[in-house]
Every structure is written in structure tokens, then in C-alpha cells.
């Protein structure tokens, strides 16, 4: 085999092997091999639950889930919509649960006169619910103190 023939063979091998190698290196997406526009169906999202009484907690340290809609409730450096109802100042007139005292403590355990920065973005921990069947069965039972049955 002369030099040119060897080079041609090498290039031919690379051309066939390369796409396979690239495919093997590509991430395996969670949606499977379906094209994005086949899975991106916004109307499949479940509607948020409407206003309702507080939902039972599953364990004592659980951040209670939000029993009302929060669309458009903005939390940023200038304002926190949640606190307009849940702060100690406003909870009575809003008939809302007052924010937990634990939220006035910084990460070193120091008590503050206002909500700690680590608790400012409420929906880092508190989330609203949708009325949906659990995706995975769960046999978890609450501690006796919360088990009302
Ligand atoms: C317009 C007033 C209002 C705003 C704004 C508001 N809430 Fe509420 N929230 C309420 C009321 C009223 C309740 C129900 C209290 C009851 O029925 O005992 C409640 C209940 C809750 C509960 C359940 C408490 C429990 O003990 O189970 C959580 C958690 C909560 N809200 C979080 C939030 C978060 C987070 C935001 C901001 C994204 C927010 N709320 C904004 C009025 C408000
Ligand atoms: C880092 C997580 C975290 C963040 C952020 C957070 N919370 Fe909580 N929240 C909790 C946990 C955990 C509990 C339950 C245990 C406790 O009281 O600390 C709770 C309890 C509550 C309760 C129930 C209090 C009671 O007396 O039953 C309210 C109301 C509440 N939070 C509101 C808020 C609001 C409003 C914000 C934003 C300003 C917020 N939380 C931010 C974790 C968080």
C-alpha cells in the first residue's frame, strides 16, 4: 500500500467511526429519544390547587406546603409579597399563619429582629401543591404526634 492509499483508508475509517463515537458520547436525555417538540406539551401541566385550609404536615420539621396560589407573588430585593400577609406585622389582618420564629435566626443561631436572609426566598422551601397522583408510591407514615387516625 502506498502512502496516498493508506491515508485514504485512514480517512475513510475515521469518517465511518466518528459519528458512532460522537453518538456514544452524547448524553442520554431523560425524555428518551423523542424529539423535544413531541414532549414539550405545556397543556399537560396540572393546574394548581385553589385556595384551601392548611394541608397536614407529614413530619414536624417539614416546611408546610402552600395551600393557595402564588402566581405573580414576587420576591426580590425590593419587596417580598409573602411577607405582606405572613409577617408578624400583617398576619392578623391577612388572617394568615405568622411566619415561624425559626426564620428569625441566622445560620450561626443568632436571633435577629427581622427575617433572616437565609429564609427570605420563601419558595426555596415552601411550595404550592397540584392535585395529582404521586408518580412513585410512598409508604411513609407520619410520626405519632402528627398521625391523627
Ligand atoms: C394575600 C395574602 C397572602 C399572601 C400574599 C401569601 N399568603 Fe400564604 N397564606 C395566606 C393565608 C390566608 C393562609 C391560610 C391560613 C389559614 O387558613 O390558617 C396561608 C397559608 C400559607 C401556608 C401554610 C401554613 C401552614 O401552617 O400550613 C404557607 C406555607 C404559606 N401560606 C406560604 C406563603 C408563601 C411562600 C407566600 C409567597 C410566595 C405566601 N404564602 C403568600 C395568605 C397569604
Ligand atoms: C430554608 C427553608 C425555609 C425558607 C427559605 C422559609 N421557610 Fe418557612 N418554614 C420552614 C420550615 C422547615 C418550617 C417548619 C418548622 C419551623 O417552624 O421552622 C417553616 C414554617 C413556616 C410557617 C408555619 C409557621 C407555624 O407557626 O406553623 C410559615 C407561615 C412559614 N414558614 C412562612 C415562610 C415565609 C413567608 C417565608 C419567606 C419569607 C419562609 N417561610 C421561608 C422552612 C423555610
For the segment 89-122, what is each residue's pLDDT rounded down to a tens digit?
A: 999 999 999 999 999 999 999 999 999 999 999 9
CA of 23 from ligand 1 middle (Å) equals: 48
Average pLDDT over residues 48-68: 87
Q: How far is CA 136 from CA 27, 56, 60, in A?
A: 25, 20, 23
Its pTM stands at 0.79
Q: Which single residue is written with the C-alpha cell 411566619?
A: 99
Nearest CA to ligand 1 atom 22: 66
CA of 34 from ligand 1 middle (Å) equals: 39
Ligand 2: which of 56, 100, 117 to mutate, judged by most atoms within 8 Å of the beta carbon?
A: 100
How far, in Å, CA of 137 to CA of 126, rounded?
A: 22
For the segment 63-73, what is each residue's pLDDT rounded down to a tens digit?
A: 999 999 998 99
Q: How far is CA 10 from CA 2, 3, 21, 69, 115, in A?
A: 12, 11, 16, 63, 67
Amino acid at each position: 500500500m502506498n502512502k496516498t492509499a493508506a491515508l485514504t483508508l485512514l480517512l475513510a475509517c475515521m469518517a465511518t467511526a466518528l459519528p458512532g463515537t460522537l453518538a456514544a458520547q452524547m448524553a442520554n436525555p431523560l425524555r428518551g429519544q423523542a424529539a423535544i417538540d413531541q414532549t414539550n406539551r405545556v397543556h399537560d401541566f396540572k393546574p394548581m390547587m385553589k385556595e384551601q385550609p392548611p394541608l397536614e404536615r407529614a413530619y414536624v420539621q417539614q416546611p408546610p406546603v402552600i395551600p393557595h396560589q402564588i402566581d405573580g407573588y414576587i420576591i426580590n430585593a425590593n419587596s417580598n409579597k409573602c411577607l405582606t400577609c405572613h409577617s408578624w406585622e400583617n398576619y392578623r389582618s391577612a388572617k394568615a399563619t405568622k411566619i415561624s420564629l425559626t426564620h428569625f435566626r441566622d445560620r450561626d443561631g443568632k436571633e435577629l429582629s427581622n427575617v433572616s436572609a437565609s429564609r427570605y426566598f420563601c419558595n426555596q422551601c415552601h411550595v404550592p401543591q397540584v392535585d395529582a397522583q404521586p408518580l412513585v408510591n410512598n409508604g411513609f407514615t407520619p410520626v405519632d404526634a402528627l398521625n391523627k387516625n
